[in-house]
Amino acid sequence: MNNTLNLFRIDAENHELMGAQLAAFSRQVPLLYFILSVNSIALASTHLGIAPTILTVVFPGVLVGACAIRCLIWLQRRNRVVEPKAAARTLRATVVLGGALGFAFLAWALSLFPYGDTSRHGHILFFVGITVVSCIFCLMHVRPAALILTGTVIAPFVVFLLASGDVVHIAIGLNLFLVTVAMIYILIICSGQFAAMVNGQMETRRLSNENFRLANVDSLTDLPNRRQFFHRLSILAEQARTANHRFVVGVLDLDGFKAVNDLYGHGVGDRVLKETGQRLLKVSDDTQFIARLGGDEFGIIVDAGLGSEAVLAVGARICSVFDAPFSVAGIVAKIGGSVGFALAPDAGTTAELLYERADYALYHAKARYRGQPVIFSREHEVEIRKLSTIEHTLRRIDLDAELSLHFQPIVNVGTSRLVGFEALARWHNPELGNVAPGVFISVAERTELIGTITQVLLRKALSAVSSWPDGLFLSFNLSMRDLISQGTILQIVAIIESSGIDPRRIIIEVTETALMQDYERVQESLRILRSMGLKVALDDFGSGQSSLSYVHQLSLDKIKIDRGFVRNIAMQENARNIVKTVIDLCRNLKFDCVVEGVETAEQVEIISRLGCSTMQGYFFARPMPQGEVEAFIADFGLSGDRRLVAAAG
């Protein structure tokens, strides 16, 4: 019963189907009313002068006029967007009106029956039959209307023919009934197929929209993803090139996120990233486009011609979202954010160049103004060119010929003994002169050159160690790129094994920054080196973030306290307290402790009093070339130095 009733209902819940039904019906309405009007005029004309004027002129004129009005109404609606509720009302009205008009045409046709002869009776029968068939086809996509019209016309007409007592009329009635049943069957099948087609198109559209969303939206944060960011950036960059359109590109990177991710797991890290996206949206306006580019990096496009001060204000607002700590699953995590901006078209007119320069401004911010916005400037462009020149030169020179090492002594003031040297890279180029280690090492770390440079310097360092007394160790730095490259680590192992130097005399120094890049791979690399007998020191302790988490998780042998804490140790109690805390931590964890950057006898005395005796700095000696190391060792003497005794005394 419900299935039967559903055949006569408009599916008001299926908005797409109703829209398709209205669109199809609006195209067929003119044809429907044309057929009704032509058939009515033809039938009325064959009864002129035979039937009363009201039946041959007035009544058909009213019906044809009603058809014309309805046709005009539908033509006006043809291109309008109809809301679902209005569509449902229109379709229901069509069902009711279709039945009413059908019954009106039938009543008029039957009212002509008493006035005609056999041929005119045949015309009436033809009129009713062809009109119903035509209406069924025209109303096929609005099944309830077609069924109601068929029922209000065919049922009474068949009854009329069967009751006439005329054998021919009875045969025609039965014939018409059977044909109508077949037509209804076809109608139900076709309307069902139409609904299925519309639903299939809906599903196809839904899947297409979902695919578009997946291709352009970051699944974690629901922000636009890298693809959509660069698509929009490319469009704006083209406008900047052709029409001098001004806009701003920004790249945001989280400070300290890697430590949170490693310490608390990816689940907590993901929730921090998701909340970061929500915070960024809250401080953005209609001119700002926020996207997640990957990892803990976000992209910002400000489609407005802002000056430098306004851009810095936007950047300050973005960085302020990190003022409040992140509370996730009972864990409170404090992270920051640095952002670099490039202003188009001044900084470039291609998407790639604008992004690179915003990314360089971000690099500059993280290196010198962590937690603040930085705008790419002409000074940065000069610096980029300089670094590009350095990179190009590094690629073409004989590294073994131009790279060298200086060695800075590490002493134990408690025993007045020289215990080892730290190897420090140096580069002199005939064209560039002396290039600062922090500059060329940084350039090499951003390329694949660092692995080759590390191997060249390690060979030189081990060659120098071979001439030292057996009691002295070598402290050698490995970069982040070295530690995450399995190939470089295997080369380092091979170099050490072929050198003949006891691995126990080698200390590998790593920084917190290196550890934060890929903790698991770094840990595996250190495990390989420690298995050979090498020791591991955490360099520049306290200059990074979340140091204690790495101290807790890594098997370290030594911690080197950053020189930043030593600089003011004679004047600031806080500095002394921090150094004392780290020294006590090392003692409790059974780590060796080295204090870097010692420059005065007063600092030596304070550090000794705090409990650390192993130190390094200008007070003892500046870094020296290998040719001066042997003389320094001989002059220092393994038995002690009176100056150290006096300083510690």
Cα–Cα distance for residue pair 637/244, rounded to 1 Å? 70
**Is residue 215 one of the residues assigned to a domain?**
no
**Is residue 260 one of the residues assigned to a domain?**
yes
| Residue finishing a domain among 350, 376, 402 | 376
On whether the pTM is more than 0.75, the answer is no
Cα–Cα distance for residue pair 479/548, rounded to 1 Å? 20
Q: Count of domains in the chain?
A: 2
What is the per-residue pLDDT for 605?
A: 93
Which secondary structure element, helix H or strand E, spans residue 375, and what is its range? Answer: strand 373-375
27 and 52 in a single domain? The answer is: yes
Dihedral, 481, 379, 388, 350 alpha carbons, nearest 10: 90
What is the per-residue pLDDT for 209?
A: 62
Cα–Cα distance for residue pair 231/398, rounded to 1 Å? 42
179 and 325 in a single domain? The answer is: no
**Is residue 108 one of the residues assigned to a domain?**
yes
Q: At 86, list the tokens.
A: 């209005």
Q: Are 604 and 598 in contact (CB under 8 A)?
A: yes
**Is the omega angle on the peptide bond into residue 623 within 30 degrees of 0, that is, cis?**
no
Cα–Cα distance for residue pair 204/394, rounded to 1 Å? 55
* Residue showing tokens 């000696």: 621
Q: In this predicted model, what pLDDT tens digit does every residue of 444-503 receive, in sequence order? A: 988 889 999 999 999 999 999 999 998 899 999 998 889 888 899 999 999 999 999 999
68 and 176 in a single domain? The answer is: yes
Q: Which amino acid is at 606?
A: I
**Is residue 467 one of the residues assigned to a domain?**
no
Q: At 400, list the tokens.
A: 């073994």
C-alpha closest to that of 528 among 548, 555, 505, 501: 555
Q: At 11, list the tokens.
A: 């599916």
**Is residue 466 one of the residues assigned to a domain?**
no
Q: At 404, list the tokens.
A: 């060298």
Cα–Cα distance for residue pair 110/102, rounded to 1 Å? 12
Structural domain range at position 296: 226-376
End-to-end CA distance of the chain: 107
Q: Are 338 and 320 in contact (CB under 8 A)?
A: no
Cα–Cα distance for residue pair 561/594, rounded to 1 Å? 6
CATH number at residue 264: 3.30.70.270
DSSP state of 115: G
Cα–Cα distance for residue pair 603/176, rounded to 1 Å? 115
Q: Are 484 and 525 in contact (CB under 8 A)?
A: yes
**Is residue 521 one of the residues assigned to a domain?**
no
Cα–Cα distance for residue pair 30/165, rounded to 1 Å? 38
**Is residue 401 one of the residues assigned to a domain?**
no
Cα–Cα distance for residue pair 605/122, rounded to 1 Å? 127
List 511's β-bridge partners, or say none. 539
75 and 172 in a single domain? The answer is: yes
**Residues of the chain predicted below pLDDT 70:** 1-12, 15, 21, 25, 77-82, 203-204, 207-214, 512-518, 542-554, 637-649
What is the per-residue pLDDT for 420?
A: 95
Q: Nearest 5°: phi and psi at 332?
A: -105, 115
181 and 251 in a single domain? The answer is: no
| Residue finishing a domain among 145, 178, 209 | 209
94 and 21 in a single domain? The answer is: yes
Q: Is 296 a catalytic residue?
A: yes
Which secondary structure element, helix H or strand E, spans residue 616, and what is its range? Answer: strand 614-616
Cα–Cα distance for residue pair 242/440, rounded to 1 Å? 38
Rg of the Cα trace of the chain?
Answer: 44
23 and 113 in a single domain? The answer is: yes
144 and 101 in a single domain? The answer is: yes
166 and 59 in a single domain? The answer is: yes
What is the per-residue pLDDT for 3?
A: 55
C-alpha closest to that of 287 among 236, 333, 322: 236
166 and 237 in a single domain? The answer is: no
**Is residue 51 one of the residues assigned to a domain?**
yes
341 and 286 in a single domain? The answer is: yes
C-alpha closest to that of 160 among 209, 215, 107: 107
Which one is catalytic: 253, 255, 296, 540?
296
What is the per-residue pLDDT for 491?
A: 95
199 and 303 in a single domain? The answer is: no
Q: In this predicted model, what pLDDT tens digit does every residue of 81-131 receive, in sequence order? A: 667 777 777 777 777 777 787 788 888 888 888 887 888 888 888 888 887
| Residue finishing a domain among 376, 395, 430 | 376
Cα–Cα distance for residue pair 434/485, rounded to 1 Å? 28
CA distances from 331 to 155, 264, 322, 549 (A): 76, 8, 16, 15
